[in-house]
Amino acid sequence: YSARNLTLHPMQTTIGKDIKYASMLLQQGEIVAIPTETVYGLAANALNEDAVLRIYEAKQRPRFNPLILHVDSFEKFDTYAQDIPDACYRLAERFSPGPLTFLLPKKNNVPDLVTAGSDHVALRVPAHPFALELLKSIDFPLAAPSANPSGYVSPVTARHVYDGLHGRIPYILDGGPCQVGLESTIIGFEDGKVVLHRYGAVTAEDMEARSGCPVVTKHSDDHPLTPGKLKSHYAPALPLFVGDIPELMKRFGDKRLAVISFRQRYVDPAPDYAFVLSPSGDLHEAARKLFHTMRDIDAIDADVILAELFPEQGLGLAINDRLHRAQSLFR
């Protein structure tokens, strides 16, 4: 899998719907891209360090960035984690399977390579039927980050995975377009509180109502050295700027502009390319289309992407978080 080996022996990457074949490859220690309801994951046997290493290599992911462990039921959480608070079970009963990841103190059977040396492990039950069937067919958990080259936008179709990783992985299990379209919400537990580490489709309000605990947000920029909170993530190839569209259009007036907006179409002046994510104002629809749209824009002849801020509520918070992470650092 080294860069040199890849140029000499690029491997054939196949896309298909054969869950049994995917299961066989995983049992042999291979890596396989799998569909989940959030984004596609690049999966391997989490208990096999050689297999897990292949994930890091195929993605060119820094070793200090840990991987989520996927299991088929929250009843398996205590196989890999300990000191699980009641609030975790209250939330898992409601939101697992689903787009919610739990950070819990790990047991010794979880390899340090998976958690990047942390004493906490991230656990999730994905809600996609193919992922669940696959997990039920094997007797080990699947370590899986998003199936994109490190630093690029997460894939929400099998084709997106192929575009980024072909030649580096043997198989992509095609489960259709992802229904959520943004990575899972990530939470931990501290002093009777739920700590929100990454915004996603399960919102703070949802979790407060269900857990009876206050939800506090750890902003990603507060702890730039904590794994998983590196600022440059999810970025398209073109420079992207977030803010007031008419103002930004004035500033970049001489460039070919692609504008991402929620429900409003900007007409005066009109950008070269306009992507309205949900004319009816549905944040779920907008979230589902966001990464798709960023990738589509990378394939056209625009110079700059401008995006407006979404409503600061519910899924709008997750969308704004991803837009900010995609934003160019050099302003």
The neighbouring-strand residues paired with 15 are 172
Q: Does 146 bind Mg ion (CB under 5 A)?
A: yes
Q: Does 186 bind ligand TXA (CB under 6 A)?
A: yes
Binding partner of 144, given Mg ion, ligand TXA, none, CB within 5-8 angstroms per partner class:
ligand TXA
Q: How many CA atoms lie within 13 A of 36 on its CB side?
A: 34
Binding partner of 172, given Mg ion, ligand TXA, none, CB within 5-8 angstroms per partner class:
none
Q: Does 183 bind ligand TXA (CB under 6 A)?
A: yes
Q: Does 115 bind ligand TXA (CB under 6 A)?
A: yes
CB nearer to ligand TXA: give 186 or 257: 186
CB nearer to ligand TXA: give 133 or 272: 133
Q: Does 100 bind ligand TXA (CB under 6 A)?
A: no
Q: Does 120 bind ligand TXA (CB under 6 A)?
A: yes
Binding partner of 101, given Mg ion, ligand TXA, none, CB within 5-8 angstroms per partner class:
ligand TXA
Alpha helices in the chain (DSSP H): 3-8, 19-27, 49-59, 77-80, 86-95, 112-115, 129-136, 158-165, 204-211, 245-251, 283-298, 315-326
CB nearer to Mg ion: give 181 or 271: 181
CA angle 240, 150, 317 (to 5 degrees): 50
Q: Does 320 bind ligand TXA (CB under 6 A)?
A: no
Angle between helices 86-95 and 204-211 (to 10 degrees): 120
d(Cα 110, Cα 82) in Å, to the nearest integer?
12
3-class secondary-structure state, position 171: strand
Within 34-73, the residues that bind ligand TXA by CB under 6 A are 36, 38-39, 41, 65-68
User: CA Rg, the chain, in Å?
Assistant: 20
Q: Does 220 bind Mg ion (CB under 5 A)?
A: no
Work out whether strand 100-105 and strand 120-124 pair parallel, antiparallel, or are unpaired: antiparallel
Beta carbons within 8 Å of 7's beta carbon, 6+ residues apart: none
Tokens 């220690």 -> residue: 29
Stretch in the footprint of ligand TXA (CB under 6 A) among 82-90, 115-123, 294-302, 322-330: 115-123
Within 245-274, the residues that bind ligand TXA by CB under 6 A are none
Q: How many residues bind Mg ion (CB under 5 A)?
A: 1
Note the maximum CA span of the chain: 60
Stretch in the footprint of Mg ion (CB under 5 A) among 70-78, 81-89, 145-153, 238-246: 145-153
Closest CB 258 distance from ligand TXA, rounded Å: 25
Of the candidates 111, 149, 177, 227, which one interacts with ligand TXA according to CB under 6 A? 227
CB nearer to ligand TXA: give 80 or 241: 80
Q: How many CA atoms lie within 13 A of 186 on its CB side?
A: 20
d(Cα 315, Cα 99) in Å, to the nearest integer?
12
Pattern 127-156, ligand TXA, x by CB under 6 A: -----------------xxx----------
Closest CB 92 distance from Mg ion, rounded Å: 22
Long-range contacts of residues 83-86, Cβ cutoff 8 Å, at least 24 apart: 85/189
Handedness of CA 215, 73, 144, 184 (dihedral sign): negative
CB nearer to Mg ion: give 59 or 304: 59
Q: Which residues of this chain interact with Mg ion, rule CB under 5 A?
A: 146
Q: Which residues of this chain interact with ligand TXA, rule CB under 6 A?
A: 36, 38-39, 41, 65-68, 101, 103, 115, 118, 120-122, 124, 126, 144-146, 183-184, 186, 227-228
